[in-house]
Amino acid sequence: MTRLSVNINKIATLRNARGGNTPNLLKMATDAESFGAQGITVHPRPDERHITYKDVLNLKPLVTTEFNIEGNPKEDKFVKLVLETCPEQVTLVPDSVGQLTSNHGWDTITNRDYLTDIIAVFKAKGIRTSIFVDANEQMIEGAKYTGADRIELYTESFASGYAADKESAIAPFILAGKKANELGIGINAGHDLSLENLTYFAQNVPNLLEVSIGHALVADALYVGWENAIRMYRGCLEKKN
């Protein structure tokens, strides 16, 4: 079954809006696991506007499922943090400094040598590596040759096109999934997946291992509660079987 990793960046954003420790990020993470989350995802950025580097260090001994740290490895501080915490997975995202949210995948062909070198650094510490990519077969093939264990498909185009024409929106992701399976590289996915579109995505992308969901899940939790939201997203993934 596809695993649900809950991205808690938005919890940190809410906390940071007033300072202090409300909501309690660490408790929200451990509660998420007790409610059914199969992983916790964080994406610290250089300005620490949501998840801070201290948060990551504090979370490491508490997370009992899978800890996934996302970020741009071209930032030395990020690389140092990952090597210090040794999460189960690091997801490499080509964000620029100050970027509001991730909006494109890696060009794994142009950056092949760099990605190969940095992935070797993480894998030497036993950390599973995933590369954030668009649903492009060439980029997936390039990711395979870097030595990455997995790709994370950037799903914004699917989410934005789902309501108008879900068949057209999913088509490139089906092809991307088939290509990844042919190459023997694992498949994760994330960005704008929601209760509306998650089941359809998971049903159609072959051998989808994991989804990372934050913004939509936290927004839904404002209406239904943290536990109910997590269980509802787990239910979407269970429907695929």
What is the DSSP secondary structure assignment for residue 49, as one 8-state letter? S
Task: Assess whether 70 carries a catalytic annotation.
Answer: yes
Active-site position among 33, 50, 66, 70: 70
CA nearest to 198, candidates 136, 155, 227:
155
Strands 150-154 and 39-42: unpaired
Element (H or E) spanning 150, and its range? strand 150-154
* Element spanning 91, H or E: strand 89-92
Cα dihedral 215, 218, 222, 228 sign: positive
DSSP conformational letter for 165: -
Residues with Cβ within 8 Å of residue 12, at least 6 apart in sequence: 25, 50, 51, 52, 55
β-pair type (128-133, 186-190): unpaired
Check if 215 is active-site. Answer: no
Query: Pick the catalytic residue: 50, 152, 191, 210?
Result: 191
| Closest to 130 measured CA to CA, from 204, 185, 201, 51 | 185
- Per the annotation, the verdict on 191 as an active-site residue is yes
- Catalytic pick among 43, 66, 152, 210: 43
- Comparing C-alpha atoms, which of 107, 157, 109, 151 is closest to residue 128? 151
Is 178 within 8 Å of 137 (Cβ atoms)? no
Name the residues annotated as catalytic. Answer: 43, 70, 191
